[in-house]
Amino acid sequence: MKNPARIALLSLTAAVLHGCSGSSQQPQGELTREQLLDPQTCAGCHPGQFAEWAGSMHAYASKDPVFRAMNQRGQRETQGALGSFCVNCHAPMAVREGATKDGLNLDQVSQKLHGVTCFFCHSTQSVEGTHDNPLKLANDGVMYGSIPDPVASGRVHGAAYSPLLDRNRAESAPACGSCHDIVSPHGGAIERTFTEWQKSAFATATGTTCGQCHMPQSTFDKPVAAVPGAPLRRTHGHTFAAVDLAITPFPDLQRQRDEVQALLDSTMQSAVCMEPFGGGGQVSVIIDNAAAGHSFPSGSAQDRRLWIELIAYQGTNVVYQSGVVPDDQAVTSSTDPDLWLMRDCMFDQSGAQVHMFWEAASFETNALPALTTFTLSDPNFYQTHKVRFFPASGTPLTPAPDRITLRVRLRAMGLDVLDDLIASGDLDPRFRMAIPTLTAGGTLEWTQAAATHTYVNRNTNGLVYCATNSNLNVQADRFPAPVRTKCSP
């Protein structure tokens, strides 16, 4: 039996490829709006960009089981008042096309409207607000992009330049920020990535935009479209790597993970230091958010878990440890009072701590701040150098360790969050172990003999031995790690 949907798709693909052949029979702008809504249409002329997008978290945004579980629970607990709050950003075209009002029927929504689509970004006309997706779309059949001189002939759709799509223009950042600054229905600023960037040196000093980190430019010139005679240009990536990863079968999972790991490895700087005290030693850890153009962690930081794993040895014996968390256990300070855990906490209108974003009216964070200056002589440069002693009391370890290992660990979604969604019946238990535990920058190992830096403690006149595998200045000013005062474990 013939499959009408398949026949239609093949016909559409043929039409698109015909248009990309440069045939004079294909007039400019022949593709209809309905065709342009479908990312598969874009694949004909832009196979590279489509393949990258298809394996990105933008394409995955409305398929993610955790997103769906949270939305389902939020709709139930608010008696539907949550409405389109989540799908405004996770499936914006499905909302704008009237295919969904609350995201509960996404399984019945056409696949072309899932996720953050090509049409949604490349139809952006203006940003008319600061958060929760205030993008206005042109809907004029023109696909906007970063190329100032698009080819005029052989097009199957209109094409025009827009600074909102140009990673080298400051105007592009608010277009990203429209969905990466989120305010809850009760007024809680539950995601502040764009606001954090605005206050950082990346915005104020160098004008480094979101796209310059998350949409890296090609290292060589190549055609933007598969059109004969297309000029060679520098293109930019469409994988949008950050910290989240797909947890169900999805295209290019290994590439996605490799790109996330590469970002993590270039983001953090760390050092382990020890100052001998008689038969003991005072251990400290310095970490610095050196390269993220925003706080770290960022985004839904109430759900993220970033922590320090420190293990001190005397010979083969462990004499102290903190942050050693098996992959199947949640990260909690209830059994580890010295745990250095970085995340947001949320509170309702009465000031009580809550765990679901739709209840949040305020927040408290101890995330690592972004750099506010790149000038080494400016004291503010070192505000991001955060230090903490282990144990937290600063008491020297006895006996003194002769080897210390440090790892900066990250889960994009805490197991306690997943356990809560499983307990409420909204998340399938099989996804509990799907969130990987990542390490930023590998394992740093300290021994006194292998110390990369030594300096004299001005308060004790003792010699401090530090190890780092980065350019972190261990002698520079250091500031105590921020603590949360209202958060329970």
10-30 pLDDT, tens digit each: 333 344 444 443 333 334 468
| Closest to 85 measured CA to CA, from 2, 172, 18, 183 | 183
Residue 270 lies in a domain: yes
Q: Is 212 helix (H, G, I), strand (E, B) or coil?
A: helix
Residue 20 lies in a domain: no
pLDDT reported for residue 14: 41
Residues 132 and 207 grouped into a single domain: yes
Residue 8 lies in a domain: no
| Closest to 85 measured CA to CA, from 191, 211, 198 | 191
Rounded to whole angstroms, what are the CA distances from 365 to 172, 412, 424?
27, 16, 26
Strands (DSSP E) contained in 25-156 are: 124-127, 135-137, 142-145
- Neighbouring residues of 161: CB distance < 8 A, sequence distance ≥ 6: 144, 145, 146, 147, 148, 149, 150
Residues 210 and 353 grouped into a single domain: no
Strands (DSSP E) contained in 225-352 are: 232-233, 268-277, 280-289, 305-314, 317-322, 341-342, 344-347
Residues 68 and 127 grouped into a single domain: yes
Residues 265 and 171 grouped into a single domain: no
Residue 378 lies in a domain: yes
Residues 195 and 326 grouped into a single domain: no
Tokens 């096309």 -> residue = 97
CA dihedral (145, 148, 151, 152) in degrees, to 10, reads 100
Residues 212 and 292 grouped into a single domain: no
Residues 324 and 373 grouped into a single domain: yes
Q: Show pLDDT as tens, one digit a residue, over the chain (489 residues).
A: 434 333 333 333 344 444 443 333 334 468 999 999 999 999 999 999 999 999 999 999 999 999 999 999 999 999 999 999 999 999 999 999 999 999 999 999 999 999 999 999 999 999 998 888 899 999 888 999 999 998 876 678 899 999 999 999 999 999 999 999 999 999 999 999 999 999 999 999 999 999 999 999 999 999 999 888 889 999 999 999 999 999 999 999 999 999 999 999 999 999 999 999 888 999 999 999 999 999 999 999 999 999 999 999 999 999 999 999 999 999 988 889 999 999 999 999 999 999 999 999 999 999 999 999 999 899 899 999 999 999 999 899 999 999 999 999 999 999 999 999 999 999 999 999 999 999 999 999 999 999 999 999 988 999 999 999 999 999 888 899 988 888 887
pLDDT reported for residue 132: 84
Residues 148 and 294 grouped into a single domain: no
The answer to whether 397 touches 275, Cβ cutoff 8 Å, is no
Q: Which of the listed residues 172, 198, 224 is the one where a domain comes to its end?
A: 224
Residues 202 and 295 grouped into a single domain: no
pLDDT reported for residue 29: 63
Distance CA 188, CA 167 (A): 29
Residues 39 and 107 grouped into a single domain: yes
Distance CA 78, CA 154 (A): 51
The answer to whether 20 touches 156, Cβ cutoff 8 Å, is yes
Strand partners of residue 387: 286, 480
Residues 282 and 416 grouped into a single domain: yes
Residue 436 lies in a domain: yes
pLDDT reported for residue 153: 62
pLDDT reported for residue 13: 39
H/E stretch holding 454? strand 453-456
pLDDT reported for residue 17: 40
> Total domain count for the chain?
2
Six-digit token string for 94: 């499905």
H/E stretch holding 446? strand 438-446
Domain extent at residue 152: 26-224
The answer to whether 385 touches 478, Cβ cutoff 8 Å, is yes
* CB-based burial, 426-451: b 16+ in 10 Å, e otherwise: bbeeebeeebebbebbeebebebeeb
Residue 50 lies in a domain: yes
Residue 245 lies in a domain: no
The answer to whether 413 touches 303, Cβ cutoff 8 Å, is yes
Strands (DSSP E) contained in 361-425 are: 362-365, 385-390, 403-411
Residue 243 lies in a domain: no
pLDDT reported for residue 488: 82
Residues 359 and 282 grouped into a single domain: yes
Distance CA 52, CA 414 (A): 27
